[in-house]
Amino acid sequence: MRKDISLDLGKATAFAPEATLGAFAARTAECNDALHNGTGRGSDFLGWLNLPKSLTDAQLSEIEESARVLRENCEIVVVIGIGGSYLGAKAVIDALSGSFDWLEKDRKNPVVLYAGQNIGEDYIFELQQLLRGRRFGIICISKSGTTTEPALAFRLLKTQLEEQQGVDAARRLIVCVTDRSRGALRTLATQEGYRTFVIEDNVGGRYSVLTPVGLLPIAVAGFDIRALIAGAARMQELCADSVPYEENLAAQYAAVRNALYAGGKKIEILVNFHPRLHYFSEWWKQLYGESEGKEHKGIFPASVDFTTDLHSMGQWIQDGERTVFETVISVEKMRHEVRIPANDANLDGLNFLSGRRVDEVNKMAELGTMIAHVDGGVPNLKIVMPELDEYCLGQLIYFFEKACGISGYLLGINPFDQPGVEAYKKNMFALLGKPGYEKETDAIKKRL
Ligand code: PA5
């Protein structure tokens, strides 16, 4: 039996009044029930709840087969998508990949690159240059099938692929992940005869990493999606509505962060001491920011990479406004071992560390930072991950998703919609003169 991830709240609960925490804790069961019974807000979007356990062997095999075709035919696969349509895949692929894998000459797996996650002209130009003359494929992911950023990138890269490979060959190197029947991407995929996977209506973008949205790119990168799902399924059991608060990690995390928020801790900083987790924090920020930042409330999700950012943001966290708390993801076991050599001259004064592991230094930095920050008035929640592998990442993903649902209900908002992301789109289309936006174009131009 694998060791599960665990949650240590010992350095957080003292910062929340007992009565407040008790009140939130008492409500977690009802929120968890509301998720499972579909009686809470946004209940049309609860498909993610049972995903790990409901995914069939046949569905996983289909994803693996499609990944095999791309793996065998491409040195680079470009994942086109934005927000929930790329962050989960990037978070997992980065967490599992060696830091310098992309430099290896005899790679077993294609390099996975990303497009459509920004509108930077230089970025897309440089990507086009890189892809010139190379065997590349495309996974285009858009749930709505109408999002401007990925649509733009897809138009550019599909054209390039067709020019390089010919239309027929290009067709076999393009896979689309989109709505079952609606949206421009579905229409295009049907017309062109692309291989497609469906994002079900009841799974929102930021909760979609355990669907083909995340699983296909992760499989293309050479990682074990079955182990990822097995980890998530295990966490599904551990955070089920039948599991009492005292044993339910998702309920505890949701209650403590809400109690801290009620006491004025408005910012949660997700901390890692492992550079490969940088994009996991980006995924987490989207999950919590887009789920909870509503009706003029919600914890602001921020992130830092330690010890790197101890030399920049560390000052603020130690000494700035006391409105923050930290959630540290601590990885117990490293994949590799590096011991510090002795040195006769000892000019750097590091001989006291000779023979010891670099990870011991990192772990003491983690412990020292936690003590310093708690002393400075920063509550500290700690999530312990036994290893940075597929199984533990699957657990972590489901843990955060489940806790986000419970936490959103504790906060009294709908954690499954995102009305706020539409405002910029309306203005952008008005400014660009999109047909159908004539009135908005007139109105916005008067304001300039
Ligand atoms: O989580 C979300 O819903 C969003 O981040 C979307 O994933 C993002 O806006 C992209 O949308 P789509 O997949 O429809 O292109």
Q: Which of 268, 290, 366, 390 is catalytic?
A: 290
User: Among 178, 185, 201, 217, which Cα is nearest to 96's?
Assistant: 217
Residue 292 Cα to ligand 1 middle (Å): 16
**Residue 425 annotated to the active site:** yes
In 76-150, the DSSP E strands lie at: 76-80, 111-115, 136-142
Quickly tell me which residue has 């696969």 as its tokens.
Answer: 77
Closest residue CA from atom 9 of ligand 1: 83
- Residue from 143, 203, 283, 428 whose mutation best tests the ligand 1 pocket (most atoms within 8 A of CB): 143
**178 CA to centre of ligand 1 in angstroms:** 11
Query: Can you tell me which atom of ligand 1 is nearest the CA of 84?
Result: 7
Which residue's C-alpha comes closest to atom 3 of ligand 1? 205
- Report the nearest-CA residue for atom 15 of ligand 1: 142
In angstroms, the CA 97 to CA 376 distance is 35
C-alpha 58 – ligand 1 centre gap (Å): 26
State the residue for tokens 């006769």: 344
Distance CA 99, CA 151 (A): 30
Ligand 1 atom with the shortest distance to the CA of 213:
13
Residues 251, 325, 282, 121: is their CA dihedral positive or negative? positive
pLDDT at 313: 97
Residue 102 has what pLDDT?
85
Which pLDDT score, from 0 to 100, does residue 346 have?
98
Helix and strand element counts for the chain (H, E): 17, 10
Q: How far is the CA of 8 from the centre of ligand 1 (A)?
A: 32
Residues with a CB atom less than 6 Å from ligand 1: 82-85, 142-144, 147, 150, 204-206, 290, 418
The Å distance, Cα 258 to ligand 1 centre, comes to 26
Phi/psi zone of residue 296: left (φ > 0), alpha (ψ -120 to 50 degrees), beta?
A: left
- CA–CA distance, 425 with 160 (Å, rounded to integer): 27
Q: Which atom of ligand 1 is nearest to the CA of 150?
A: 15
Q: How many Å apart are CA 11 and CA 378, to the nearest integer? A: 9
- The alpha carbon of 270 and the centre of ligand 1 are apart by a number of angstroms equal to 22
Pocket test for ligand 1, best of 90, 114, 147, 200 (most atoms within 8 A of CB): 147
Minimal-distance CA residue to ligand 1 atom 5: 83
Atom of ligand 1 nearest to the CA of 149: 15
Question: Going residue by residue through the chain (448 aa), what tens digit of pLDDT does each one get?
Answer: 889 999 999 999 999 999 999 999 999 999 999 999 999 999 999 999 999 999 999 999 999 999 999 999 999 999 999 999 999 999 999 999 999 988 888 888 999 999 999 999 999 999 999 999 999 999 999 988 889 999 999 999 999 999 999 999 999 999 999 999 999 999 999 999 999 999 999 999 999 999 999 999 999 999 999 999 999 999 999 999 999 999 999 999 999 999 999 999 999 999 999 999 999 999 999 999 999 999 999 999 999 999 999 999 999 999 999 999 999 999 999 999 999 999 999 999 999 999 999 999 999 999 999 999 999 999 999 999 999 999 999 999 999 999 999 999 999 999 999 988 888 989 999 999 999 999 999 999 999 9
Output the pLDDT for position 239: 97
> According to the model, what pLDDT value does residue 14 have?
94
Identify the pLDDT of residue 103.
86
The catalytically annotated residue of 3, 333, 425, 426 is 425
Q: Is 382 a catalytic residue?
A: no
CA of 86 to the centre of ligand 1 (A): 9
| Most distant pair of Cα atoms in the chain: their distance | 77
Do residues 88 and 209 touch, judged by C-beta distance below 8 A? yes
Given CA atoms 259, 263, 265, 266 in this order, what sign does their dihedral have?
positive
Rounded to the nearest angstrom, the distance between the alpha carbon of 85 and the centre of ligand 1 is 6
| pLDDT at position 237 | 97
Prior bond of 28 cis (ω within 30°): no
Cα first-last separation, the chain: 63
Look at residue 282 and give its three-state secondary structure.
helix
pLDDT of residue 334: 98
Using CB atoms within 10 A of its CB, is residue 62 exposed (0-12), middle (13-18) or buried (19+)? Answer: middle
In single-letter form, the type of residue at position 276 comes to: R
